[in-house]
Amino acid sequence: MRTWFITGGTPGGFGLVYAEAALKEGDQVVVTARRPSELREWAEPHGGRVLVLQLDVTDAEQVRAAVKTAEERFGGIDVLVNNAGRGWFGSVEGAPDETIRRTFDLNLFAVVEVIRAVLPGMRARGDGWIVNMSSVAGLVGAQGFGYYSAAKFALEGLSETLRQEVEPFGVRVLVVEPGAFRTKAFAGFQNEPVNETVDAYVPMVEGVKAAFVAHDGKQEGDPERGVQAVISAMNAPVPPQRIVLGNSGYDVVVAMHENALAELRANEELSRGADF
């Protein structure tokens, strides 16, 4: 029986889908959320196999306390799912400073804090999984969501280095890159104001917002099938380092890699000519 520690357990997101999948496998789960009262009814039927903790992942002290509580309750954390995260729209030039910092605090620095809190126990046991929820936007830039993309790009690089560093201790790292999935991720955009500080970008940002609002509830990705794909990847004889989820996301990422490779080869002479 494994113990999962899952951040971002707000109902309607990937977090609870991971939790339910883990419970079906016979495991036990720790689910964190800013508002744990929203999970009380969900958790009740599972009894002692579920621990719900209040957690703001951007608060380092809360992170360390939550991990300690989880380890004391279940004896250790076997699978960490860094699921908490979200984006705010805005141009690169005109997004408010507070939005930029909030985006990186939640999508990157908070992930670092959780990893640092969980890793000592995993290293001591010589086993563990770290599943970092990135995004297709962590591989392909998203207009109007430049800072979310930047934070996810950073998470990709961090995960790649982390994988190399913790592999000798028996800890594996998987990066998950979903496209558009039918969670509640888009639901809050309807009532979110456009706080763009550069007027020239307002039409673009408003168009991005309108596209997300129009797409809410129509996303092709099925969160349950997505999580099952992740678990299958973890259980594979040779687990992948990353997995893209969803048809549209897969197509976008394949096109990006093919275009990047073609451009790299087209400029091979320039690249190779830079050495002494």
- Catalytic residue list: 134, 148, 152
Spatial separation of the C-alpha atoms in residues 9 and 16, rounded to whole Å: 5
- Return the closest-CA partner of residue 162 out of 232, 108, 125: 108
Distances (CA, A) of 67 to 10, 51, 77, 247, 270: 18, 11, 8, 35, 50
Spatial separation of the C-alpha atoms in residues 241 and 236, rounded to whole Å: 11
* 40-54 burial: b if 16+ Cβ within 10 Å, else e: eebbeeeeebbbbbe
Instruction: Quickly tell me which residue has 């961090």 as its tokens.
Output: 158
H-type alpha helices, 36-188: 40-43, 60-74, 97-104, 110-125, 146-166
CA torsion 131→137→138→143, rounded to 10°?
-150
DSSP conformation class of 74 = H
Distances (CA, A) of 167 to 62, 76, 89, 122, 123: 27, 18, 36, 11, 10
- Return the closest-CA partner of residue 171 out of 117, 223, 119: 119
Spatial separation of the C-alpha atoms in residues 259 and 113, rounded to whole Å: 35
Spatial separation of the C-alpha atoms in residues 127 and 121, rounded to whole Å: 9
